[in-house]
A and B are shown apart, each in its own frame.
Chain A
C-alpha cells in the first residue's frame, strides 16, 4: 500500500453527504429530469461506499456490488427517461407536481 491513504471514515462521510444531496434533490426538486439525476447521485454514493469498504477490508465484493449498481442505474435511467418522454407527451410539462392524476 503506497502513497496517501484516505481513511475509510472520510470516504463514508463523503458518501453520506452525496446521498443526502441526492435525497434532498429528490424531495425538493420538481423537475423530473433533476429527480432522475438525484437518483443517480444517490446510487453512486452507495457505490462509492461499497468501493471504499471493499478496499478497506481488501475484498473484491465491494467492486462487484458497484458493477451491479452501475447496471441497475443504467437500466433505471433508460426506463426513467422513457417515462419522462411519456409524461411530457401527456402533461406537456416536466413538473411532477402537475402529474398527480393517480390520486385516491
Chain B
C-alpha cells in the first residue's frame, strides 16, 4: 500500500483539474460528488497507508521522477512518509473531507459551486504535497500552492472589492514570510549542497555545533516563512481579514490546515532549530506574545468569525510555544486537536450565519440554544475544547504544552528561569481563552432572541458537525506515534499544585464569563465605559493597533511614494504620446460626419488641389 501514496494528492488534483476544465457545466450533484468524494477517497488511502505504517514503523521514500537536474542539484518529485506525515495527512484528509461534505450544503445557494470545489480540491492537493514532500523545494511548491488557493478562496466572492482587498492583503503579507523562507532554502543549499530534508538535517548536525551562526540564520529565515504562513507576530494581520471568504474555507484553510503549515515546517526541520537555541527561544517568545495579543483581541471582537480568527492565531501561538520549548509532539498534538475543535467551531459559526440570513454580529444573535440545538451542542463542545476544560481534547494538548514550558530545560540541561514565565503567560492566555470562548456561547445562544433562524442545518451540515464533536471530545485520548520522529520528551514531574492550577484555570475563566455575560452580575460596563476602559477596549478591538501601525509605517509611505512618482517626467512623455494619439483620433473621427455631400465636396477640392499641383510641377 505504501507504494500507492501518490494516489493521495492525485485524487483531489484530478478532480480539481476536471472541475476547472468543465467550467461549471456539470450537474450540481456530480460536482458535489467529485468535490467531496475525491477528498474522501484520499482519506481512505491515508487510512490504509496509516494502518500499514503502524506495523512497519520505518520511514518510506517514494521517488516518482526527478523534477529537474541542474548540475548537482536534482530535487526529486518524491514523497517521504513517517509518523509525522501520517498524522498530518490524516488531519488534512479527514477534517478536509468533513468540511467538503459540509460545503456541499453550505454553498448550495451559490452560483459558483464548481469553482468553489475546484479551488478547495486544489488546496487539499497542494497541502498534501506540502506534508508529503521529501525535499524543501517540493515542500515550497506545496507551500506556494496553498498560498494561491488561499488567495483565490478568500477572494471567492470577488464582486465585493473589500473581499478582493482582503485576499490581496493575505497574499502579500504571507509573501513577506515566503521570501524569507526562500532565502533560507538558498542558504541551506549553498551551505549543505542538498535540500532533501533528512540528509540535510544529518549534514547540518555533522557540520555545525550548537550555537553556530549559520544554522541560526537559516533557522531564523525558515521561522520567517513559518511566521507568515501561521499568522504569528509580526505577520499575523492578514488572518482576521481572511475571514472574508466562505466559512468552510476559514474552517479548512484558516483554522485546520494551512495556517498550521508553519508549525509543521518547524517540527519537520527541528534538527536545524536544535542547533540554534536562541532562535528556538525566539519561537517560544513569538508564540507567547502572539497568543496573549490575539486572546485579548478576541475578547473584544463583535464579529463571530473574527473572534474565531483571533482565537486561531492565539492557539497557533500555543503551538509555537510548544515548539520553542522543545515539546515537538505536544505542538503537533495541539495542532491535531485544534484542527478538530476549531473546524467544529468554524463550521458551527458557518451554520449560525447560514441560518440567520448572513448575520455575523454576535450582539444581533441570542437565544439560539433552543432554536438551533445541533449547532448549540457543537458550539458548546467546541468551546469547551478550546477553553481546555478537563477531559476534552484541548485540555490534554494544552496541558502538555504548559507543563513542558514550565519544565523548560536550557541548553545545559537544567531548568531555566524563563520556563515558569512562559508557563505563567500561557496560563493568562488560557484564562482569557476560556472567557472569550464562553462569552461567545453565552451571547449567541442564551439571552433573548434577536434574529429568527429561517432554516435548520440539513444532514450534510449536521453530520460533519456531530463527527467533529466526537473527535473534539475524544481527540485527547489519541496517542500519536511520534517518538521516533522527535527527540524524546522529558517526563513531567510537577507537583499537584501545578496540575491543580492547570485544571482550574479554564474553569475560573468559564465562571468569569458566566458571571459577566450570563448572570450580568459583574458590573464590567462601569469599567468599559470609563475613559481608560474605553481606550483600552478600542485598542484591543483594533488588534493592538497593528493594522494602523503597518498602515502608517509601510502601506501609506509606499502608496504615497507611488502617487508622488506618478507625475515624473518619464511618465509625462508617455502620457503626451497618449494624448497626441487621442487628439488625432478625435480630429479624424470628426471628419467622418456621415454626410455624403461633405465627402463629395472634399473629394472635389482634393482633386482640384492635386490637379493644380501636378499642373505646376509639369
Contact = CB atoms under 8 A, between A and B. Distances in A.
Interface of A: 23, 26-28, 30, 35, 96-97, 99-104
A23 to B, nearest CB: 6
Contacts of A96: 595-597
A40 to B, nearest CB: 15
A100 B600 contact: no
Interface residues of B, number: 13
Given A96-B595, A97-B595, A104 B588 contact: yes
A30 B597 CA distance: 8
B500 interface: no
B576 interface: no
A102 B594 CA distance: 5
Given A30-B597, A96-B597, A97-B597, A104 B592 contact: yes
Nearest to A30: B597
Contact of A27 (B588, B590, B591, B600): B600
A22 B592 CA distance: 24
B601 A27 contact: yes
Given A23-B604, A27-B604, A103 B597 contact: no
Contacts of A102: 592, 594
Contact of B590 (A26, A35, A104): A104
28 contacts: A23-B604, A26-B597, A26-B600, A27-B597, A27-B600, A27-B601, A27-B604, A28-B597, A30-B597, A35-B596, A96-B595, A97-B595, A97-B597, A99-B594, A100-B593, A100-B595, A101-B594, A102-B594, A103-B592, A103-B593, A103-B594, A103-B595, A104-B588, A104-B590, A104-B591, A104-B592, A104-B593, A104-B594
Most buried by A among B589, B593, B596, B600: B596
Interface of B: 588-597, 600-601, 604
Nearest to A98: B595
Given A30-B597, A35-B596, A96-B597, 17 more contacts: A23-B604, A26-B597, A27-B600, A27-B604, A35-B597, A96-B595, A96-B596, A99-B594, A100-B594, A101-B594, A102-B594, A103-B592, A103-B593, A103-B594, A103-B595, A104-B591, A104-B592
A23 B608 CA distance: 13
A99 B591 CA distance: 16
Contacts of B601: 27
Most buried by A among B591, B594, B604: B594
Contacts of B600: 26-27
Contacts of B588: 104
Contacts of A104: 588-594
Contacts of A35: 596-597
A44 to B, nearest CB: 18
A22 to B, nearest CB: 11
Contacts of A30: 597
Contacts of B593: 100, 103-104
A26 B607 CA distance: 15
A57 to B, nearest CB: 23
Contacts of B594: 99-104
B592 to A, nearest CB: 3
A97 B597 CA distance: 8
Contacts of B595: 96-97, 100, 103
A103 to B, nearest CB: 3
Nearest to A32: B596
Contacts of B597: 26-28, 30, 35, 96-97
B609 to A, nearest CB: 15
B196 to A, nearest CB: 66
A79 B156 CA distance: 58
A31 to B, nearest CB: 11
A100 B596 CA distance: 8
Nearest to A103: B594
Contacts of B596: 35, 96, 99-100
Nearest to B605: A27
